[in-house]
Amino acid sequence: MKKVTLKPLYHKNQECIGIYFENTTVLNGAIRKNAGAKWSQTNKCWYIPLSKENYNKLFFALKGKAAIEQSALHEYLAAKKKKVAPAKTSVTAKPVTPAMLLPTTSKKQVTVYKGGKIQAVNAHVIPAMEQHLKLKAYSPSTIKTYLGEMTQLLTILKTIPADDLTPELLKRYLIYCYEKLKLTENTLHSRINAMKFYYEQVLKRDKFFWEIPRPKKPFLLPKLLNETELTNLFNALANKKHKAMLFTAYSSGLRVSEIVNLKISDIDSKRMQILVQRAKGKKDRYVNLSPLVLDILRKYIQEYKPRPKVYLFESEQTFTAYPTRTVQQIFTNAKHKAGIRKEVGIHSLRHSFATHLLDKGTDIRYIKDLLGHFNLKTTERYLHVSKKQLVNIISPFDDLWKKNELEW
């Protein structure tokens, strides 16, 4: 019988139970389906939030399938009950934080969120905002961003009620963010969007932000790789799955979130298209499927072990979609190995796809549809980095030199 070890784990700003065992399909499926466990790439283990209900689910999920070792977890719980720091349990277990030991009866109770501590007077803000965001079906990444930005404001307010703030006070806060915290224009826009959502959507204060100007965003050109750099990047990859992943990203101009969520059923070999489902803005779209990439994907699916079943690029631990951070790290490792010094991320494959299509004379309106852009102005950024518009322009200096009137 397999051995499963349970240890205390502090992960994503909450107490958890870390679940450690040798990787097996039976145990993976049991704790994921029956106990709702999630995989932590950081800690290299499965985990569930620490609660009696979750513990019972896990216990019954493992019953008869594994021997459970939980002495470290029992020591941690005993120490927590006495409100003292536990003895050393494991290198993965983090010490009890002061926030864990706060008495629940305190008049000045503090709620701890990722990014800061929120006083009781504002404890209702984040739950109310999160509920509203979910009811409006905002994406998980947008919800995480908005709640994080709002937490920053609430942390600074301390005991000042957020619901009593005026546009004038919020202006002063934004100036503080820009001058003291040195936040970028893009981060300020994100923070304004979060506050605007709370005051106008949750509190129903129409036009509350009309008096608050937005900082002008800098005009940044897309960063891309040339053909030589792309060749070196792809050749630096030894793993067939990783290579197929980046080939697909570049050949179809996909975002990293779109790559990891591709399913085998999304590949339409008859129409030579890839269906990208619920992409940015919750829009579906079709992109072209390269015949060469189709052959590569077929070989990858047939030969790679373990063979993917649902997602085109499945995690070998969870058998679900590959984590986006892992794909980003794969790109970064290959970039360093290839000797590319440009400060670019995996999104540069998408930028390169669009720019290289422009260089070859593809109509920008088609590129807009392939990239899934809502506005043509977004796609027009690539005109500034494409060689097609500039290659036939001759500098007036060259004309002057050709007249043989200049000396060197």
- Domain assignment of residue 300, yes or no: yes
Does residue 104 fall inside a structural domain? no
- In 3D space, the residue among 22, 17, 10 whose CA is nearest the CA of residue 67 turns out to be 22
Domain boundary among 68, 97, 126: 97
Domain contains 55: yes
| 321 inside domain | yes
User: Which residues face 39 on adjacent strands?
Assistant: 46
CA 178 centroid distance within chain: 25
Does residue 302 lie in a domain region?
Answer: yes
CATH number for 79: 3.30.70
Do residues 233 and 372 share a domain?
yes
Counting the structural domains of the chain, the total is 3
**Contact between residue 277 and residue 266 where contact means Cβ atoms under 8 Å apart:** yes
Q: Answer yes or no: are the C-beta atoms of 258 and 370 closer than 8 Å.
A: no
Task: Spell out the SS3 assignment of the chain.
Answer: CEEEEEEEEEECCEEEEEEECCCCHHHHHHHHHHHCCEEECCCCEEEEECCHHHHHHHHHHHCCCEEEECHHHHHHHHHHHCCCCCCCCCCCCCCCCHHHHCCCCCCCCEEEECCEEEEHHHCCHHHHHHHHHHHCCCCHHHHHHHHHHHHHHHHHHCCCCHHHCCHHHHHHHHHHHHHCCCCCHHHHHHHHHHHHHHHHHHCCCCCCCCCCCCCCCCCCCCCCCCHHHHHHHHHCCCCHHHHHHHHHHHHHCCCHHHHHCCEHHHEECCCCEEEECCCCCCCCEEEECCHHHHHHHHHHHHHCCCCCCCECCECCCCCCECCHHHHHHHHHHHHHHCCCCCCCCCHHHHHHHHHHHHHCCCCHHHHHHHHCCCCHHHHHHHHHCCCCCCCCCCCHHHHHHHCCCCCC
Residue 104 CA, chain-centre distance (Å), reads 34
> Across the strands, what pairs with 276?
285
Range of the domain at 90: 2-97
- Verify that 312 and 168 share a domain, yes or no: no
The span from the CA of 21 to the CA of 304, in Å, is 24
177 and 238 assigned to the same domain: no
What pTM was computed for the model? 0.58
Say yes or no: 269 and 365 in one domain: yes
> Strand 2-11 to strand 66-69: parallel, antiparallel, or no bridges (unpaired)?
parallel
Given a contact cutoff of 8 angstroms between Cβ atoms, the answer to whether 3 and 13 are in contact is no
Same domain, 236 and 363: yes
Tell me what pLDDT residue 246 has: 94
- Alpha-carbon distance 158 to 173, whole Å? 13
240 with 168, same domain: the answer is no
Q: Do 66 and 48 contact (CB within 8 A), yes or no?
A: no
Both 257 and 367 in one domain: the answer is yes
Task: State whether 139 and 12 are in the same domain.
Answer: no
Q: What angle in degrees, to the nearest 10, is found between the helix axes of 364-371 and 347-359? A: 160
Is 406 inside a domain boundary? no
Give yes or no: residues 85 and 118 share one domain.
no
What's the confidence (pLDDT) of residue 390?
57
Active-site positions?
A: 255, 280, 347, 350, 373, 382
369/282 same-domain check: yes
Q: Final residue of a domain: which of 202, 235, 254?
A: 202
If asked whether residues 233 and 155 sit together in one domain, one would say: no
Can you give the CATH number for the domain in which 122 is found? 1.10.150.130
Task: Specify whether 57 is located in the same domain as 185.
Answer: no
CATH number assigned to the domain comprising residue 246: 1.10.443.10
Per-residue pLDDT of the chain (408 residues; tens, 9 = 90+): 788 899 888 887 778 899 988 877 778 888 888 788 888 887 888 899 888 888 888 888 888 888 888 888 888 888 777 644 444 444 444 443 333 333 333 344 555 555 568 888 999 999 999 999 999 988 888 999 999 999 999 999 989 999 998 888 888 999 999 888 899 888 999 999 999 999 999 998 877 777 677 877 777 778 889 999 999 999 999 999 999 999 999 999 999 999 999 999 999 999 999 999 987 777 889 998 999 999 999 999 998 888 888 999 988 888 888 888 899 999 999 999 999 999 999 999 999 998 888 888 888 888 888 888 888 887 787 777 676 655 566 667 777 677 776 777
Q: Looking at this protein, which amino acid is placed at residue 53?
A: E
Is 215 a member of any domain? no
Residue type, 308: P
pLDDT of residue 73: 86
* 328, 255 Cβ separation under 8 angstroms: no
Dist. CA 314–CA 360, nearest whole Å:
34
Q: Is residue 66 part of a domain?
A: yes
Question: Two tokens at 356?
Answer: 């290289």
